[in-house]
Structure 1
């Protein structure tokens, strides 16, 4: 038996989690469920946190997209997958991903390719192409971007 009410306990757990990093509503709900917080308390808490701006999936998605595209050099496919895993709705994810232009994605892919190409020196051309294409695909870049960057990188 807890010495504090379920709502107070849930609030403390939620604030502790949100103080570490932003979270989606689905992530927060999952974490609270693991702590055996009743679902009605979770619903009330999430509603209150949305009202005061502590829980905002659109802002969370925008922050994650910016972070992953600019700093981690990830492509839209990979970012979309990560947003899905974190429980962000497809509509919210697409809205956030719309902020990443094709040029931004191409620039990020070129940066990854430039870094990776040093390790590919001395390999046969087809092996280098395959490895670079695989690296870019795993980072979530579209097939068009991958092919364009592979051609640019290995031709020059």
Structure 2
């Protein structure tokens, strides 16, 4: 039971539980900032930790234990889950900017997702039809390059798909299917 006083008199009583983190203002500020940060899109644990370290540096506060406590609290609240983040990342990459698994894996590694831990869910992600994704990625470019000579168009398609992280085999299949349509 918490009593709220004003001028020495009790004005309200509530059953609100006081924060368990000693009401540390740094903890409160970091927790609020990090919840705002994850509200825009899911984040990996590494992204959160980097964000928290930058905040502490900007505020000229030195306390690494607070970062760990905030990260633990975010995990407790369900905001910090690398497996969910990785699944979301792959879905976004396939929906809006189709990319190959090679590039997606590289992006996830840069985001700090431990691929060994993630390998149990990787089977689900490997089921992405790379050929279909590559065909979707190429659709806009085909109209841009339709007037180019065949060899130049094939070179541009090959380079474009390679930069998007598709394997050589996938690139060859897509180029062959495009050539058959012509």
Give me the TM-score of the superposition, normalised by structure 2.
0.76
Instruction: Give structure 2 stretches of 5+ with no counterpart.
Output: 1-23
> Which position in structure 2 is the counterpart of 1:29?
49
The 2-side partners of 1:71 and 1:94 are apart by 24
Please give the residue correspondences for 1:1-156 in structure 2 after superposition, counting only pairs within 5 Å. 5-36=25-56, 38-101=63-126, 104-156=129-181
Tell me if structure 2 keeps the 8 A contact 1:76–1:97: no
Aligned pairs, how many?
153
Tell me if structure 1 keeps the 8 A contact 2:101–2:126: no
Aligned residue for 1:100, secondary structure, equals helix
Q: Choose between structure 1 and 2: higher helix proportion.
A: 1
Give me the TM-score of the superposition, normalised by structure 1.
0.88
The 1-side partners of 2:86 and 2:49 are apart by 17
The 2-side partners of 1:150 and 1:16 are apart by 44
Q: Choose between structure 1 and 2: higher strand proportion.
A: 2
Q: Give per-residue Cα distances to partners, 1:79-117, cap 9 Å, x unaligned.
A: 112111211112245444432345622111112223322
Is 99-108 or 10-19 further displaced after alignment?
99-108
Q: 1:123/1:93 Cα in 2 relative to 1: closer, same or farther (>3 Å)?
A: farther
Bigger relative contact order, structure 1 or 2 (CA pairs below 8 A, ≥6 apart): 1
Q: 1:11/1:103 Cα in 2 relative to 1: closer, same or farther (>3 Å)?
A: closer
